[in-house]
Each structure stands twice: as C-alpha cells, then as structure tokens.
Structure 1
Amino acid sequence: MTTPEMGRGVLRPAVAATRFELLREEPAEAVAPYVEFYWIVRWDLRGRPPHEQKVLSHPNVHLVFEQPETAVYGVQRGVFTRVLRDRGQVLGVKFRPGGFRPLLGSPVADLTDRSVPAAELFGPAVTAAERTILGASDVSTMTATAESLLLSLLPGPETAPDPVTAEVAAMVERITASPSLFRVDALADDLGVSVRKLQRLFAEHVGASPKWVLRRARLHEAAARADQGVGIDWAALAADLGYSDQSHLTRDFTATVGASPARYAGE
C-alpha cells in the first residue's frame, strides 16, 4: 500500500501503511446522499508491538463496526487515537457532513467529542450486522451488510433527501477545497449566508463550528505538507494558510498534534 492511499488526516501515513491496510468503498446510489464512503481497516500485528495510530479527524460522523462494541462517533475535535494490537478488522461508515442528521433526529452537535453505542440509537439490528461484518473475509459482504442496515434506517426512496443535507455538505466541501478561506465572515460572504445562519447550520447538521472546520482544514494541509519531509518553508506555508506568522502556525499545530511542524516532519 502506498502512502497516499492513507488519506488526509492519518498522521505519519508512511509508518501507518506498514502497520495496517486501509480500503475504501463507494456507497450505492440509494445511500450516497448521506454516506461519503465505507472504510475498512485490517491489521495483523501478531508477534509485533501494538501500534498507536493518530488521526486528525474530519467534520464527519462515523458509524464503526468494531469490538467490543459498534459505536457512532461524533466529530472528534481533538486528535483521535486508536491502539491496534494482535489481529482484527473494523468497518466504518463515513457520513457526509450533515448526512447523519436524518438518522439522529436531533442536532449533530449533541454527539460532538462523544461516542454512543450504535445499538442504543438503532436497536438490536446493529448487533446482528456487527456479527456478519466482523466475521466476513470479503469486503463486498461487509459493505453490503452495512448498507442493508442503513437502508432500513434512512428515509425510504419515496422520501426525497432533505435539501439542507446536500447544502451543508457542499459548504464543508467549499472549505476543504479552498485553503485560502481563513475567516468565518469571509466564508459566509462566499456562501451567501449570514454568519449566524452558518453557525446554526453547522451546529445542527455538522457537529462542529465553521471556525473549527476552517481551522481543521488548515491543519490537514499543514500535516500533509509536513508528511512530505524536511525542506519546507514554514513561514511561507503559514502565510499561505492565513496564519499571522510562522509562530502562530507552530502553536496551533503543536497544540493539536503534540509536536511542532518541523519536529513532526523530521521524525
């Protein structure tokens, strides 16, 4: 597996690629308005030390089929850390920003920095799906089982998706595709909405504030550049990402990742 397949947000992807396999599968058309993709992580560390993996999370809710318990993870505003040991696999459903709101029935901000047992939200069908998914050896069985569960939970084909779901997803995509957007008021102007409306939409449908999503997009870019190795002009990068100076970038990166950009790049 090559490093780029790890995706943005996986810290130290070159090391990660030697410890586990990460696969992605596209959702079927029926669930695509709500689901960005399915991801499968498989590892075999028998006879090797456990591996601690850190991830700079995205503004997405995830449904993760795993042991000891399948759970729903809200937006994790810190660094998400998971220790892998022995042998195993998990399957995750990465919902589009705003895509989990129709299943939750309440503001997605209620899940921020939390995980909730999926069975508490969706009942015993989750347990049956978990047994099939974690016992399967082929990806198609895993994703088909997850998709069948989702189809039983999501609005039926006779119900058109809430247009706000697509609107919010497009807003977040605008942020992640535009590193030049630094400020919430500039984002609101760019999207043609008020700052207050933007904040309400993100609390209700995303689970993180527009300011946090903007900041996280900058940190994703900084980490991706750092993963390229040494020889980076950090002052120029800080300016590109809208920081007041290099020290501002260094403080922000260090507070979140736990190491300065230069140290992270050199390790």
Structure 2
Amino acid sequence: MAPVRRDTRGIVDAAELFTQVDFRRVEPAEPLRRYVEQYWLIDWDLSEPYVSHVVPHPAVNIVFQRFAGQEPFVEVAGVQHGLFAQKLEGRGRVCGVKFRPGGYRPFAPEHPVTRWTGRRIRSPEVFPDTDPTTVLGPDDDAARVAALDAFLLALDPRPDPQADLATALVERIGADRSIRRVTDFARAEGMSVRLLQRLFAGYVGVGPKWVVLRHRIHEALERAEAEAAVDWAALAADLGYADQAHLVRDFTATVGAPPTAYCAAYSAASSPAASRSGTR
C-alpha cells in the first residue's frame, strides 16, 4: 500500500493554508491501512476568517468537526466534483479520515460509493450513536488518533477483493502518466470498459475517466504554483490533452479560473510585497 501522502497536491495555495492552520497527517493503526490512506488533523485560532480551497482527490472522507458557535458533528463527505471551499474562523478543530479510493465500501457495503458522491451527510443520518467529542475532545494527537482507530475498528470492515482491486487501479492511474484513455487502460487490465466503469461506480464513486482527468488537474495546479512561467501548450501535451484549449477548459471548470489568471493571482499573493503588506 502507498504510504501517507507528504505532498500538497490538490491543496490550493498550500503555503498560505499552513500559515493559517496547524495541519498534520498521521497513519492509522496497521489493520486499517488497507482501507485508510491517512488521518488529517487541523486546529486553528484565527483573528480573521480564512477560506481554504482544495481540488478533491477520488476519496471518501469521514470528518469530525468543531467550529466556533456550532455543536460538534461528524459527516461523510463523498468525492466532490469541483473545487471544495471551507470557511474557517475563530477557533476550531477537524479530525478527518481519508480513505483510499475503494477503501470506504467495506465500511458501508450495502451501498455503492456513488451514493455519497457530491454529498456531505451529517449525523444523525450517518453514525447516529457516535459522540464527536470522543475524537475532538482530547488535546493530544495520539489520543485523537487512538479514538479514530477505535471508531473505525468498531465498524468492523470486512476485506473485499473488489475494493482492493479498485484501490490498486486508481493508484496505478496516479502513478502512470501514460494512462490517458479508459479503453486502453481497461484492455491493459484485461477488463471491458463497462466492467471497469461498474467497479469504479461501486467502489470509488466516480468513473475512471474522471480519475484520469483529476490527476491531470492536480499536476497542472502543482505546476502553476511551482513555476513562474508555465508553457501551457507543452504541459497540455505532456498530460495527454489534444491541445491547450482542452486543458484550459478542464482547469477552469475545476479550479474556477483559467490557468493564466490563477498563476497571476497566485504570483501576486506570493510576492514579497504582498507578504510585507499583509495581503496574504
């Protein structure tokens, strides 16, 4: 299994996020690692509101949350199609479980994962007997991680070879940039396109084409934040797009701004002058 991610792929302006919140990623207990990629823990104490943005991965999350002025709650967040925005203000805490693609289905085997796609469903509709403070209450990270382990193990997930297959296929797409067409990928895996699509719908929550495109956008976003001048036509070719226009279309639809506009805004926000003036 792939280890806990240490990159910031998908987080829009990760450097700014890390100045606003205390963000940690932790491995789950060993029996859970075939299902769970990582736990993510966030605490904040802000004098002014801040909005974080993430281009989501093909993963379901269970999130325990405590925001200023609200009762603590837990929710299931399915794969989100577009840019995910979360407003943070005052003091708060989040303890999240990021499942591997395919890893959530063994915890809820009665429903295909598409049931959760594009949705955020709070208790009591999900986990009605769970007290969120058992996870959110402790100030010690180790105690919170132990509480997350206990919560998940109590759900008694059952190993599912189809879930393992879905996880492996999504990880393969992420690791191999030459995978560009679903038909070619299905053939290489000895599957029909329809069977591959049914597997992804049942266990990942989105189709294989969506996964391929999302990895492309993650890489394009990463390049936009890392390079002063991106050759978008060359990058489009590297990522397997027919032309630059198709990359611009997908980037704009996902991130909410064309690549050049996003780069200009990011560069302005990251400049020394901006930092000195407090505009970040």
Compute the TM-score of the two structures, normalised by the length of structure 1.
0.91
Aligned-partner Cα distance in 2 for 1:35–1:5: 15
Aligned-partner Cα distance in 1 for 2:104–2:89: 30
Do structure 1's residue 87 and structure 2's residue 87 form an aligned pair?
no
What letter corresponds to residue 75 of structure 1 in structure 2? V
Aligned-partner Cα distance in 1 for 2:196–2:264: 38
Q: Deviations over 1:208-260 (max 9, x none)?
A: 01111111010001001111032211110000011111122111111211111
Aligned-partner Cα distance in 2 for 1:39–1:107: 25
Q: Name 1:149's counterpart in structure 2.
A: 151
Do structure 1's residue 20 and structure 2's residue 21 form an aligned pair?
yes
What letter corresponds to residue 28 of structure 1 in structure 2? A
Do structure 1's residue 120 and structure 2's residue 125 form an aligned pair?
yes
Compute the TM-score of the two structures, normalised by the length of structure 2.
0.87
Contact 2:183–2:193, Cα closer than 8 Å, also in 1: yes
Contact 2:83–2:256, Cα closer than 8 Å, also in 1: no
Do structure 1's residue 78 and structure 2's residue 76 form an aligned pair?
no
SS of the residue corresponding to residue 216 of structure 2 reads helix
User: Gapped runs of 5+ residues in structure 2?
Assistant: 266-280
Q: Name 1:32's counterpart in structure 2.
A: 33
Aligned-partner Cα distance in 2 for 1:13–1:150: 28
Moved more, 5-14 or 61-70: 5-14
User: Gapped runs of 5+ residues in structure 1?
Assistant: none
Moved more, 194-203 or 223-232: 223-232
Count the aligned residue pairs: 255
Do structure 1's residue 9 and structure 2's residue 10 form an aligned pair?
yes
Do structure 1's residue 111 and structure 2's residue 116 form an aligned pair?
yes
Q: Deviations over 1:112-141 (max 9, x none)?
A: 1011124433331x21xx112222211111
Superposition map of 1:208-247 within 5 A: 208-247=206-245
SS of the residue corresponding to residue 120 of structure 1 reads coil
**How far did residue 5 of structure 1 move?**
5.3
**How far did residue 78 of structure 1 move?**
1.1
1:86 to 1:57, Cα distance in 2 relative to 1, 3 A = same
Aligned-partner Cα distance in 2 for 1:50–1:60: 27
SS of the residue corresponding to residue 192 of structure 1 reads coil
Aligned-partner Cα distance in 2 for 1:194–1:16: 42
Aligned-partner Cα distance in 2 for 1:227–1:190: 34
Contact 1:5–1:22, Cα closer than 8 Å, also in 2: no
**How far did residue 194 of structure 1 move?**
1.1
Report sequence identity in percent. Answer: 47
Aligned-partner Cα distance in 2 for 1:55–1:212: 16
Aligned-partner Cα distance in 2 for 1:206–1:96: 9
What letter corresponds to residue 149 of structure 1 in structure 2? F
1:229 to 1:266, Cα distance in 2 relative to 1, 3 A = farther
Q: Deviations over 1:130-183 (max 9, x none)?
A: 11222221111111001101111023xxx6x11111111000001111222111
**How far did residue 85 of structure 1 move?**
0.5
What letter corresponds to residue 177 of structure 2 in structure 1? P
Aligned-partner Cα distance in 1 for 2:125–2:156: 16
Q: CA RMSD in A?
A: 1.5
